[in-house]
Structure 1
Amino acid sequence: MTVRALTKRVTSSLKIAAVAAVIASSATSAFADAGFQRWVSEFRGVATQSGITRATFDRAFANVTAPDREVLELAQNQPEFNAPVWQYFDNQVNDESIGNGRRMAQQHRRTLDAVERNFGVDRNIVLAIWSIESRYGQALTNERIMRNVIRSLSTLAYADKKRQRFARQQLIAALKILQNGDVRADQLTGSWAGAMGHTQFIPTSYQAWAVDLDGNGKRDIWTSVPDALGSAANLLKDNGWRNGHAWGYEVVLPKGRKFPAGKATLAQWQAIGVVRADGQNYPRPNDQAELKVLEGREGPAFLVLHNFNVLKRYNSSDRYALAVGLLANQISGQPPLRRDWNRPFTRLSFTETQELQKRLSAHGYYNGEIDGRIGGASREAIKALQARIGMAQDGHPSMELLSRLRKQ
């Protein structure tokens, strides 16, 4: 056989194999979609038993014909709370989130007056939640983030065994929201896990705490800022928020002392030398407080109070509750931490972080959003550039790296 004939046969074989692979892939996809459709048909019975009408179910699932593969990928890759402490707080408490919070405080002053009057929750706490949950609503316009809630929850209920029970419960709640008429099917959008609106309520939280603060007859957390902020405040109020009480204090730890596990009164903490970082006295010395040191004794330290634990009813993470409290403090005009997080590099401002992303993009390393927030894509881009220019591949958004880029 000639080389040309052999090449022709090999090429033909490769084409046949490629076509077979495509057919197999299509068949697998079709089978998966068929399996999903069977699941939807079976779930109809569950929905009916839960009081969902046939018309509501059909309207909700009209365009839901296959699982959302991106939802499953996102469900398997949630690094947010596994990231270094400083990275989480740098992304949440920065000059942009603080400045925007102060602008929103002015723009929505009357709404925030009503929130404080009706629910007794500090406006700055509500603003901080709004920032962390949706960047003051900016995330709701991002089609890469927002998706069909019915499809997201159906995907998790169908294919994610870890979240199956949660997703089924939330899916029924979402169908009830739609049936109640608060939102149209095409407006029922949210995160990959079904968190919805400006303040990212999961459907069961919506059912429990959403309010109609603007008085138009609908609880609309998607387009009504008053409804969204009022709903967040209502959640905190209903879970025991204490009006006029602090969430906690940054403190200074005495050297060489051991500290009690669990709670003690602020007076007892002060007696062993744990004092406020700003030098002021504790206003309610008999309040129970717990010590939080997310980076150990070498990082910032906090005594947290009852309202801190109420914030954890919104999100059970210590990082989340602390970020809300610290951001609220700075929106209100309080100074930043006296003792900052331990970063192994010089921190960038928000604007400088955006500049770093732009430069990474210009060099072909990054194709994500220029949002001033360092996530997985930004870190991988930084590592790739660091490898090329001979720096340690740590993925840190440092002034040292930006300075090198500015010189190129």
Structure 2
Amino acid sequence: MAGRLRRLRLGIGAFIIAAVAAGLNVPAADAAPFAACVKDLRAAALKAGVKADVVEAAFRDMTFDERVLRFQRSQPEYRLAIWDYMAFLVDEARIADGKKMFSVEAKSLAAIEKAYGVDRYILLGLWGVESDYGRLEGDFFLPRALASLACAGKRPGLFRSELIHALKIVAAGDVKLTDFTGSWAGAFGHTQFMPSTYRRLAVDFDRDGRKDTINSIPDALASAANYLKRSGWRPGQPWGFEVKLPASYKGPAGRKQKAAISVWAKRGLTRADGSPLPKSGSYGLLKPAGKNGPAFLVTRNFDALYSYNAAESYALAIAHLSDRLRGKGKFVKAWPTDDPGLSRAERKRLQELLIARGLYKGEADGRMGPLTAEAIRAAEKQAGLKPTGRPGARILRALSDG
């Protein structure tokens, strides 16, 4: 999700592991304080110049949405192991769907790449990670979600400002109030812009007179391209590539510690796929799983992806998905775990097996919440495994073989 909302963000992960947050106990806001806060928010919106009819419509029958506080405490980019995060964001289904969408939107993607210099596969990967190609844009009514966060969440000043920006978007005629749904934190549309970022960087690429990232795919993708361009994206430069480190490597690491490719060559790094290193460029060494996992040399373009959501796992998911959509293969080196993460289809299969065993009474939808975790722990105990509640390959295999 693009914008200033860094560690309060839950984009596509909100829909994949939504029930994790839904299982947290968060007290509801008292009616009287919330009503007083809403009254103050209405006054602030009017003072900021939002049209009275828009304010009236947005705040009509306003109630507190305690779900947003639950979601605020669950952020997959920071809570999940990198191999779990990558497994469900870059799975075969998302790759296949992305290739289909590439065919559908090929003309727009080519035009946007020409206009902004941002690689079309990167945009496609970002779209896939942010909203599963528009399937999961969020179902929170934004004025209600933002008002609830402004009145009872962390960083109330930020959400108060985002609420006013959201109402100004409606007042400008770009988005209809009835269409204004998105994530719990206020991000909306195919590429999940925060309202303030939208007002600063959204573009009307289809030239219909409205900047509509909810209903217009060209507007959404072009707006994301504009964001990346403003964040330092360099046309024609890759995001990076996987590398092999010398067994004795003890040199610098970190995407910010960049050096010329010739320096990395002298340090003994080679491309993991055996192809030659590029002849020029400045790169930083990324080791998202430590010394025993895959390693990557990354450019400033990776940093631009990072700026979209301040998480290296997030940027790597977009980067890797874009490569897979381009036709490249999986990482050469495996993640350092003997219990790999599961794809969305595998998570659904796991739930089906738990249901068959009578351990899980929820829906087999691939979303891993507290009920699924409890069922997994029960299954692990039955199989003689350490009870973790984590959806991994080990318990899936045990249930499949049992």
TM-score by length of 2: 0.87
Question: Which residue of the partner structure matches residue 41 of structure 1?
Answer: 39
State the distance in 1 between where 2:367 and 2:274 align.
33
Paired residues of 2:84 and 2:340 also in contact (CA < 8 A): no
State the distance in 2 between where 1:260 and 1:357 align.
43
SS at match of 2:30: helix
Change (3 A) 1:213 1:37: same
Question: Which residue of the partner structure matches residue 177 of structure 1?
Answer: 169
Query: Structure 1: where are the runs of 5+ without partners?
Result: 1-27
1:339 equivalent to 2:315? Answer no
Q: Which string of whole-angstrom CA distances, capped at 9 and with x for unpartnered residues, describes residues 358-401 of structure 1?
A: 22234444455644465655433312322244322123434443
SS at match of 1:217: coil
- Report the structure number with the largest CA radius of gyration: 1
Question: Which residue of the partner structure matches residue 241 of structure 1?
Answer: 233
Post-superposition shift, 1:406?
A: 3.5
For residue 207 of structure 2, the aligned residue among 208, 215, 223 is 215
Structural RMSD (CA): 2.1
Of stretches 359-368 and 323-332 in structure 1, the one that deviates more from structure 2 is 359-368
Post-superposition shift, 1:239?
A: 1.7
Question: Which residue of the partner structure matches residue 200 of structure 1?
Answer: 192
Paired residues of 1:213 and 1:226 also in contact (CA < 8 A): yes
1:127 equivalent to 2:124? Answer yes
SS at match of 1:314: helix
Paired residues of 1:345 and 1:396 also in contact (CA < 8 A): no
Change (3 A) 1:103 1:375: farther
State the distance in 2 between where 1:317 and 1:110 align.
31
Q: Which string of whole-angstrom CA distances, capped at 9 and with x for unpartnered residues, describes residues 247-292 of structure 1?
A: 111000001132135221111001110111122223342x221111
For residue 112 of structure 1, the aligned residue among 109, 113, 118 is 109
State the distance in 1 between where 2:398 and 2:218 align.
46
Question: Which residue of the partner structure matches residue 18 of structure 2?
Answer: none
Paired residues of 1:91 and 1:374 also in contact (CA < 8 A): no
Post-superposition shift, 1:79?
A: 4.5
Paired residues of 2:146 and 2:159 also in contact (CA < 8 A): yes
Question: Which residue of the partner structure matches residue 317 of structure 1?
Answer: 311
Residues matched between the structures, number: 373
1:298 equivalent to 2:284? Answer no
Paired residues of 2:121 and 2:323 also in contact (CA < 8 A): yes
Paired residues of 2:87 and 2:342 also in contact (CA < 8 A): no
State the distance in 2 between where 1:328 and 1:124 align.
5
SS at match of 1:312: helix
Paired residues of 2:204 and 2:210 also in contact (CA < 8 A): yes
SS at match of 1:289: strand
State the distance in 2 between where 1:400 and 1:313 align.
35
Post-superposition shift, 1:170?
A: 0.7
Q: Which string of whole-angstrom CA distances, capped at 9 and with x for unpartnered residues, describes residues 39-58 of structure 1?
A: 11122222222211222211
State the distance in 2 between where 1:249 and 1:302 align.
5
Paired residues of 1:87 and 1:374 also in contact (CA < 8 A): no
Query: Structure 2: where are the runs of 5+ without partners?
Result: 1-26
State the distance in 2 between where 1:352 and 1:257 align.
36
State the distance in 2 between where 1:206 and 1:368 align.
37
Of stretches 256-265 and 288-297 in structure 1, the one that deviates more from structure 2 is 256-265
1:147 equivalent to 2:145? Answer no
State the distance in 2 between where 1:138 and 1:367 align.
26
Q: Higher helix proportion, which one?
A: 1
Of stretches 111-120 and 347-356 in structure 1, the one that deviates more from structure 2 is 347-356
Paired residues of 1:91 and 1:373 also in contact (CA < 8 A): no
Paired residues of 1:241 and 1:307 also in contact (CA < 8 A): yes
TM-score by length of 1: 0.86
Aligned partner letter, 2:337: R
Paired residues of 2:77 and 2:313 also in contact (CA < 8 A): no
State the distance in 1 between where 2:70 and 2:357 align.
27
